[in-house]
Amino acid sequence: MEPVFEDIRVERDDQVAVITLARPSALNALRRQTVIELNRAIEDVESDPAVKVVVLAADGERAFSSGVDLVNDPAPTSTMEVDAIAQRNARMIERLWYLDKPLITAVKGVALAAGCNLALIGDLTICGRSASFGEPEIRHGTLSPLLLLPWLTHFKLMNHMYLTGDSVDADEAYRLGLVNRVVADDAVDREALALAHRIANAPLLTLQSVKRSVRMMLDTQGFKGLQMGHRFADTLVLDSTGLPERDRLREIRAKDGFRAFLAARDTPYQTS
């Protein structure tokens, strides 16, 4: 029996599985339920011998994913809850990284924070001209769930994105090697699916062996160990007190709402 999902869809197209984030009205933000469902879907497609390639896409034109849901999920009230959230989010993203089959991400609109992780974690990424990629966590005093950029781009850009929270648009992402192709928005899903079917012509064992070898190479360069250390740092920062910049933003959010929070967070970072 196929599982019933609320926040995502899973569809099969011959030897390709398509996982779609399906909360466009919430900018495909990742609430707890979304993460649970993604973990289940990843497990299912990985264990299905009929699936050779996986596509990760999203409904809507405004956002691939705006990141962790800061609106609907309740705020953690203990260190244990903070750690559980950090571990849950990072592990879901890591499961995609170590997925034993080629993963193609199909990106339209903004991809921010954990959503940026999801957008760029594919072995291949097709994006629309509306796409942009950013890690704005620094602006509200937290860290990215997964330290992915060091493995995808050069040192100076990585530091700029992590330290300023600035985004890069689709053309800049292509120039920097973060994505494979930039196409019209209405062609993104079609192009990603066509690429997936091309790759699916190869034997599954061969595809899996390529992925395992590449991931093993990156692990020998420190990927896995770095993520373990970063996860501890993420929990520490999330649970820290006495950070006046973050405390002020939390007060604004509690008093004036999420839009006011975003304005207070992002306005100081705007350039003339």
- Amino acid identity of 243? L
Q: Are residues 219 and 258 in the same domain?
A: no
Q: Are residues 121 and 181 in the same domain?
A: yes
Q: How far is CA 188 from the centre of its chain?
A: 17
Q: Are residues 250 and 201 in the same domain?
A: no
pLDDT given for residue 216 in this prediction: 95
Range of the domain at 99: 8-234
pTM, rounded to two decimals: 0.93
Cβ-based neighbour number of residue 250 at 10 Å: 14
| The two structure tokens encoding residue 157 | 């850009």
Residue 2 lies in a domain: no
pLDDT band of residue 218 (cuts 50, 70, 90) is very high
pLDDT digits (tens, 9 = 90+) for 91-125: 899 999 999 999 999 999 999 999 999 999 999 99
Q: What is the DSSP string of 58-69?
A: ESSSSEEE-SB-
Domain count, the chain: 2
Q: What is the DSSP string of 218-256?
A: HHHTTHHHHHHHHHHHHHHHHT----HHHHHHHHHHHHH
Nearest to 249 by CA among 259, 236, 234: 259
For 24, counting Cβ atoms within 10 Å of its Cβ (0-12 exposed, 13-18 middle, 19+ buried), the class is middle
Residue 3 lies in a domain: no
